[in-house]
């Protein structure tokens, strides 16, 4: 018996009262728990939906920023070449984008991301047939990368290359040369990320955003084209290079800054995740290398000639950007600065080597900026990468798996060397063969009289600046 304030309550009655209360409370509690569980599930689904939407928007936005880089390439190229070829260069770059969109839809995506055959090539999804609706965001982001390689070739071969011949080569670059190597690196089933080579070395090849896939492929394809097409008339006198000034440094510098802005999408978007916690660090590394590259070239040219060279300094910034494109998601910020500084040395030495030793005529320095600096970017992964599970990018899925030489690793460096050699051989050899066959069927170089007069009038029947053209 229980006694409360002198009120005596029999024990049996107290037990029955408690039982009644429990029967009244328990259904309410069960319902509440069930409702809470449903609310938690719905909130989780809502959060996941927002995260997915954010990633889709991030990739579309970054793709748009990369698309704008074609305007940057156009301005750099016309700024560093002569006024009589401005319209021709603008048309080449414009049609590179237009052809690139269609060709990547027809076959580029299929070869790069279709069902794998022997680790070499994709064999389905031509015309994007059979793809899920979710794939189109990825297609858009990858397509804007694809045309960039051909644009690199355009600048290196400017002022003497046939417009028709260039358009045909663009189709082959976007539809075959670029996507085959891209399949090796980015498809997840290619020979540089899985299979015998990787098994033998112990770690997969790493190119975060395209130092090799985009820039080396474009740069060493350009080297093949420049070797075949030869220098512009008047570029070399008695074996020594002659400076042929571009007609507008303001346009060249504006184009350089637009390209630099494009790397926000180029590298930042390559996280492929709008919710990634390291996007800021990836972009910071990118621009630390860019600034360091420009500073290094400024200092070199200032010390060697007594005056800082504007166009080479601008190329120093681009070289830093190209070099950091592969390692930006795998290295510390101090390493990004070092990578940029060395890229500045490489681009300056590369331009001098091309002109004075190889006697190559590259009006915009594309081979040194994209080819040589891209190669340095690939090697720098094997030197400076912190390694997956370590340091600041410890839980990032896209960081290099192996540690670099500075952190005691050797495997990552080894696979990077293999991938670099394969990129050079594939881009240079296949492009040279294509250029050679193409030249035999349709002359790749314009006739001497048309080159002297300028390609604007011959190819397109108009000048970019008609008010400055004197009547005949």
pLDDT band at 47 (very low <50, low <70, confident <90, very high): confident
234-263 per-position pLDDT tens digit: 999 999 999 999 999 999 999 999 999 999
Mean pLDDT of 23-34: 56
Q: Look at residue 23 and tell me if it is in a domain.
A: no
Percent of the chain with pLDDT over 70: 89
Q: Are 114 and 139 in contact (CB under 8 A)?
A: no
| 259 lies in some domain | yes
pLDDT tens, residue by residue, 337-379: 999 999 999 999 999 999 999 999 999 999 999 999 999 999 9
The pLDDT of residue 1: 47
pTM here? 0.90
pLDDT at position 147? 85
Closest Cα partner for 365 from 249, 226, 185, 464? Answer: 226
CB-based contacts of 312, cutoff 8 Å, min separation 6: 297, 301, 347, 348, 351, 365
Is residue 440 within a helix (H) or strand (E), and if so which, with residue range?
helix 411-441
Q: What is the per-residue pLDDT for 4?
A: 45
Q: Which pLDDT band holds residue 162 (cuts at 50, 70, 90)?
A: very high
Q: Is the pLDDT of residue 5 over 80?
A: no
Q: Is residue 100 part of a domain?
A: yes
DSSP bridge partners of 9? 2
Q: Which structural domain, as residue segments, surrounds residue 178?
A: 44-468
* pLDDT tens profile 397-442: 899 999 999 999 999 999 999 999 999 999 999 999 999 998 898 8
Residue 472 pLDDT level (bands cut at 50, 70, 90): very low
Q: What is the pLDDT of residue 283?
A: 97
Asked whether 341 and 317 are in contact (CB, 8 A), the reply is no
- Residue 421: Cβ-neighbour burial (10 angstroms; 0-12, 13-18, 19+): exposed
- Domain assignment of residue 209, yes or no: yes
Q: How confident is the model at residue 31 (pLDDT cuts 50, 70, 90)?
A: low
Residue 38: inside a domain: no
- d(CA 101, CA 300) in angstroms, rounded, equals 40
Q: Which residue has the higher pLDDT, 353 or 38?
A: 353
pLDDT in the model for residue 368: 98
Residue 261 counted as domain residue: yes
pLDDT at 179: 98
Which pLDDT does position 293 carry in this prediction?
A: 98
Give exposure, 19-48, as e/b (b: 16+ Cβ within 10 Å). eeeeeeeeeeeeeeeeeeeeeeeeeeeeee
> pLDDT, tens digit, for every residue of 191-233?
999 999 999 999 999 999 999 999 999 999 999 999 999 999 9
What confidence score (pLDDT) does residue 7 get? 46
pLDDT of residue 26: 52
The answer to whether position 11 is within a domain reads: no
Dump pLDDT digits (tens) for 120-157.
Answer: 999 999 999 999 988 999 999 999 999 888 899 999 99
| pLDDT, position 395 | 85
Task: Give a yes or no: residue 14 inside a domain.
Answer: no
Cα–Cα distance measured from residue 327 to residue 210, given in angstroms and rounded to the nearest whole number: 10
Could you give the maximum distance between any two Cα atoms of the chain, in Å?
124
What band does 37 get if pLDDT is binned at 50, 70 and 90?
low
- 3-class secondary-structure state, position 225: helix
Listed in sequence order, the residues at least 6 apart from 406 whose beta carbon sits closer than 8 Å to its beta carbon are 383, 384
In the chain, how many domains are there? Answer: 1
CATH number for position 311 = 1.10.3430.10
């Amino acid at each position: 018996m229980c006694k409360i304030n002198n009120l005596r309550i029999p024990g049996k009655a107290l037990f029955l009262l408690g039982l009644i209360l429990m029967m009244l409370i328990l259904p309410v509690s069960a319902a509440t728990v069930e409702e809470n569980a449903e609310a938690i599930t719905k909130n989780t689904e809502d959060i996941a939906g927002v995260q997915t939407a954010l990633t889709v928007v991030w990739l579309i936005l970054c793709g748009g920023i990369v698309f704008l880089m074609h305007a940057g390439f156009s301005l750099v190229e016309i700024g560093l070449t002569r006024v009589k070829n401005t319209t021709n260069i603008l048309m080449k770059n414009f049609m590179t984008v237009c052809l690139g969109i269609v060709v990547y839809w027809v076959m580029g995506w299929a070869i790069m991301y279709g069902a794998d055959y022997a680790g070499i090539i994709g064999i389905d999804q031509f015309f994007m047939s059979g793809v899920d609706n979710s794939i189109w965001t990825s297609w858009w982001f990858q397509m804007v990368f694809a045309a960039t390689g051909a644009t690199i070739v355009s600048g290196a071969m400017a002022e003497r290359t046939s417009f028709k011949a260039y358009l045909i080569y663009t189709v082959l670059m976007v539809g075959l040369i670029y996507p085959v190597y891209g399949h090796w690196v980015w498809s997840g089933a290619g020979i540089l990320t899985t299979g015998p080579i990787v098994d033998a070395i112990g770690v997969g090849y790493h190119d975060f955003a395209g130092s090799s896939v985009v820039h080396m492929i474009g740069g060493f394809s350009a080297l093949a084209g420049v070797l075949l097409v030869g220098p512009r008339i008047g570029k070399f006198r008695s074996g020594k290079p002659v400076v042929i000034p571009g007609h507008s440094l303001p346009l060249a510098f504006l184009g350089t800054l637009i390209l630099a802005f494009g790397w926000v999408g180029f590298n930042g978007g390559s996280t492929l995740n709008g919710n990634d916690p390291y996007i800021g660090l990836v972009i910071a590394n990118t621009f630390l290398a860019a600034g360091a590259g420009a500073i290094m070239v400024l200092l070199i040219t200032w010390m060697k000639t007594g005056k800082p060279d504007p166009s080479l300094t601008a190329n120093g910034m681009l070289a830093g950007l190209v070099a950091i494109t592969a390692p930006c998601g795998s290295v510390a910020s101090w390493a990004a600065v070092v990578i940029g500084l060395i890229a500045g040395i490489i681009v300056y030495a590369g331009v001098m080597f091309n002109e004075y030793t190889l006697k190559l005529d590259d009006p915009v320095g594309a081979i040194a900026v994209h080819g040589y600096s891209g190669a340095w970017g690939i090697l720098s992964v094997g030197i400076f990468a912190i390694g997956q599970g370590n340091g600041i990018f410890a839980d990032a899925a896209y960081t290099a798996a192996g540690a670099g030489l500075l952190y005691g690793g050797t495997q990552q460096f080894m696979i990077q060397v293999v991938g670099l050699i394969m990129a050079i051989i594939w881009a240079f050899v296949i492009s040279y063969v294509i250029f050679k066959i193409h030249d035999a069927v349709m002359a790749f170089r314009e006739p001497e009289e048309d080159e002297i007069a300028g390609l604007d009038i011959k190819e397109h029947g108009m000048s970019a600046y008609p008010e400055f053209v004197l009547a005949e």
